[in-house]
Structure 1
C-alpha cells in the first residue's frame, strides 16, 4: 500500500496542542463519544476444575510490542457461569490497564483482543467497546499514540503505591476521527507496516540472544579450562582446545575434566586473613528503612548486583553515624559482593570505585580476597553456569532459594596460577568488550526501529500521512 504526506492546504488546526494539524475532513471528538461501553473486570476465585473454570486475561498477557493480547499461558479462574456473561470478551474488544502500572510502564496501556476464545478479564483491566461507526483496530492504534505521547498521565490518580487511571478523565481527551472506511484503511496499512517492523526487530533480538549465548559459552570454556589462551605470532591472543593428556579428573561430577595444573579451592580459601573479610549483611533489626537518608554512605542491595556488574539503580543511603555502627558489614572498591537470593543465587560483582565505601544489606555477602587472586577473573568464574549450578544445589528454600554464608564458603572453585588468571582476565575483557559493543549496536538499531515504527503510527493515525 502506498502513502504520502498531506500538503499544508489539505490540513486544519485541530485546536489540540499535542495533535496539531489534521485533515480538513476529519472530526475532533472526545474519546467517550466514540465508546459505547466501558466495564471493569473481575478476578473470580481459584480454579476448581469444574464447568465454571474460565481463562482470565491479566496484565501479563498484554503484548506491549504488538498491542495485542497474548492468549498463551492464560490463568484459569472460577466464576459462576451466569456471572461470566457480563465479562466475556469478544473479538475486537479493547482492554486498557486501569490499575497497577509502574514508573517505566504507567497505567493506560491498551491492547486489542483478536481471538474468539471464551475468556474473561481481571479486575485491574477495563473492557472498552466502541460504537458501530468506529473501527476498534484503528482506536487501538489511536490509544498507542496517546500512550506514546503520555496523554494518559493526565488522568492519573495515585493515592497509594498503585497507579490508577481515571477512565472518565482520560476519555474526556479530544482526539481526531476520520470516516469509517478511512479508519479501516489506516488500520490495515499499519498492521502490515508494523508486521514488517516487528519482523526486523525480532531478527535483531534473535541475533542479540545468539551473541549473549556465544559470550557466555566463551567465558565458560575459558574459566573451566576446556580451552587455553595462547599468544599468536601477530601478538594477538586466541584460544585452542586442550588435549586430553593436559587434563585430569576434577572429581566433581558437574565439572568433569580440568587442566592438570589447576588447583581446587573453597570460597573461604580466597578470603583475606583480615577481620570481617568474609561477612554477610546486618540483621534486619540493625538496618531499617527509617535509617535511610537522602545522601551519605551507599548501600549495596540485591538490585545493585548484576552478573559481573555493580548497578546503581534505586540506591539507598545511610548516614556516616549509622555507618560507624555497621563497619563490620562495610564493602570497599575492588572487593566482591554476592547476592544471597533472587535469580541467579550467588551472583556477584566487583564493588565499584564510584564511592569510597559501602554497606551491604542482610541479603548480601562481602568477600575481600587475599593477595594472589585476580578479582576480575574470579568474577567471570563465579558467575559461570558451573558455579551457579553448584550454588543452587547447596541453597535452601523451595519457591525462592537462598544461599547462606556458611554454604557459600564451601563452594568449590578450580583455579589456575595467578599469572594465568591475569592472562585469562585480559583475554576475556577484550573479547567480552567486543561482544558487548556489537550487542549494544544491535540494541541501538532496535530502539531506532521502534521509534520509527511509533512515529509512523502517529503520523498515519493523526492524518499527517494519507494512505492511498
Structure 2
C-alpha cells in the first residue's frame, strides 16, 4: 500500500464561493453546467437494473434495499443512467440523497441524471465524495425551490448554477483512491466498535434475565415455574399472573386543550417508546393538554406506576415499559398507553427489571395480534406470568445488584459510542478537507 501524507497546496486563491472558500490556485472554479449535462434518455423496456438514491448509502441497487414502498407495474420510461453518472433525488437533495453510480441501470423519472461533458476531467468517485459533504448539501439546499424543507426541489437549471472548484483528473483520482482506503479503515473501526457495543448490550440483557429469574443465591433450591420461557426459579419465589399483582387501565386523555378544563402534563407514547428502563419524572418534557376532574382523579400518575406501549409497528418493540420513579403533580398518561398500578408491595427499582428481560419480550411478541400494526390486549398483560421474590429485602438486593452491574455496562457502552462518534466526525472532516483542497494528499512517488 502506498504511503499517504498530508500537505498544503503551493498557493491558494479566494474562490468567491461561500461553500468552497479558499481553493488551490490550479483548481478551476466553474459552474456545474460546464461540467454536467442531463442524460435525458429513457428505458424502452424497464428491464434494466433499478437504482435508488439514499442520503446514507448514495446510489445503490433497489433490490439491495429493505423498503416497502410502492413499486410501479412497469418501469418503461424510467431514466437510463450509466456508470459514473451523478444521480440526484430531486425531492430529497436537501437531505443529501445523491451520489454517482457504479453501474449502468435505470432510476425514477423524478430523479435528476447528469453525465459529465466530453473532455471535462471527471472521476466519478471524487464527485461522490464531494457532493455528499455537509457544505455541498447546504449549497444544494440553498439552490432548491420550495416553501418548507419537506417540499424543496432541486431542479436541473438550479443545480447547473452551483459553482464547483474543479481539480484535474489525476488529482481527483488520487483523492478518491485515498478516501476509499481511509474511509474503509475508519468504517472498519466503527463496525468493530459497534459489534463490541452490541455484545455488551447482549451481556446486559443476559445478566438481567439470569438475575430476574434465578436470583443472586446460586445454591438455593429451584422449582419449575410452569412457564416454558422462564424455566426454573428459586423454590421460595411466587409465580403469578400479572392480574394478581395489580390493575391495568386505559386512559381517555387526548392531546386537546379545552378552555373549561384544567391544564395538565401528558406522558405520551413517544415518551416511553424505546426506553425500557427510562425513569419518568422530568415533567418539563411532557406535552401540555387539558383534562376534566374525573380524568385527573383517575388517571394521574403515581410513584411506582408502570406504563406500557400496547402497540407497535414491529413485533420486537411491542410492550415497551417505563416506571414512574417519583410522585408527579397533575401528570396523566395518554389514551394509547396502559398503566399498571400494583396492589402488592414491590420494591420500586425491582419493577424496572420485571418487564425488561428476554422472557417477557418473548411473551409479548407471541401474544401480539395484527398485521400492519401489532397490538396487545388487556388479557395479554393480565395473563403474563412473572416470578417475584416474596420479600422486599430480596427484591432490593437484586435491584441494587442489577443497578450496579448495568450501570457499569452502560458506562462502557457510552464510552464506545463516544469513540464511534469521534470516528464519524473524523471521517466527515477528513473528506471535506481533502475534496475541497484544504489539505493535499501526496502519494509516495507521485506529485499531486
Normalising by the smaller structure, the TM-score range is: 0.7 to 0.9
Maintained 8 Å contact 1:296/1:317? no
* 1:383 is the counterpart of 2:356: yes
| Aligned-residue offset at 1:367 | 1.8
- Aligned in 2, Cα 1:186/1:288: closer, same or farther, shift over 3 Å? same
Label 1:3 to 1:268 Cα distance change in 2 as closer, same or farther (>3 A): same
In structure 1, what is the equivalent of residue 236 of structure 2?
A: 261
1:91 matches 2:76: no
2:342 corresponds to: 369
Deviation at 1:247, TM superposition (A): 1.3
List runs of 5+ in structure 2 lacking aligned partners.
443-448
Q: Matches of residues 119-130 of structure 1 in structure 2 within 5 Å?
A: 119-122=105-108, 125-130=111-116
Cα distance between partner residues in 2 of 1:325 and 1:40: 66
What is the count of residue pairs matched by the alignment? Answer: 424
Q: Is the 8 A contact 1:278 1:367 kept in 2?
A: yes
Match of 2:34 in 1: 33
Q: Identify the residue that residue 5 of structure 2 maps to in structure 1.
A: 3
- Aligned residue runs from structure 1 range 18-167, under 5 A: 18-37=19-38, 56-58=50-52, 62=54, 64=56, 67-69=58-60, 72-73=64-65, 77=71, 80=74, 83-84=76-77, 86-99=78-91, 107-115=95-103, 119-122=105-108, 125-132=111-118, 133=120, 134-146=122-134, 150-159=138-147, 162-167=150-155
Is 1:298 the equivalent of 2:265? yes
SS at match of 2:332: strand
Matches within 5 A, 1:306-321: 306-309=275-278, 317-319=287-289, 321=290
The 2-side partners of 1:349 and 1:201 are apart by 31
Deviation string 1:228-264 (CA, Å, 9 cap, x unpaired) is 426xxxxxxxxxxx35x72111111222211111111
SS at match of 1:162: helix
Superposed CA RMSD? 3.4
Contact 2:86 2:113 in 1 (8 A): yes
Find the partner of 1:400 among 334, 353, 373.
Answer: 373
Offset of residue 40 of structure 1: 11
- Partner Cα distance (2:185, 2:81) in 1: 28
Q: Secondary structure at the match of 2:64?
A: coil
Distance 1:41 1:459, change over 3 A: farther
CA distance in 2, matches of 1:40, 1:309: 54
For 2:268 and 2:40, the matched residues in 1 are separated by: 41
Contact kept, 8 Å, 1:12 with 1:21, in 2: the verdict is: yes
- Normalised by the size of structure 1, how large is the TM-score? 0.80
SS of the residue 2:346 aligns to: coil
Contact 1:395–1:403 (CA under 8 A) maintained in structure 2: yes
Task: Rate the CA distance shift 1:362–1:429 in 2: closer, same or farther, 3 A.
Answer: same
Q: Does 1:359 align with 2:332?
A: yes
Deviation at 1:394, TM superposition (A): 2.7
Provide the residue aligned with 1:278 in structure 2. Answer: 248
SS of the equivalent of 1:224 reads helix
Correspondence 1:197 to 2:189: no
Q: What secondary structure, in the 3-state scheme, does the structure 2 residue paired with 1:252 have?
A: coil
Partner of 1:335: 305
2:416 matched residue in structure 1: 442
CA distance in structure 2 between the partners assigned to 1:444 and 1:460 by the alignment: 24
Kept in 1, the 8 Å contact 2:55–2:97? The answer is no
Change beyond 3 A, Cα 1:26–1:148: closer
Question: Aligned partners of 1:150, 1:465: CA distance in 2, in Å?
Answer: 21
Structure 1 gap segments, 5+ residues each = 43-50, 231-241, 272-276
Deviation of 1:360 after TM superposition, in Å, equals 1.7
User: Offset of 1:177 from its aligned partner?
Assistant: 0.8
Task: Name the counterpart of 1:274.
Answer: none
Q: Deviations over 1:347-373 (max 9, x none)?
A: 101136596342222221112223520
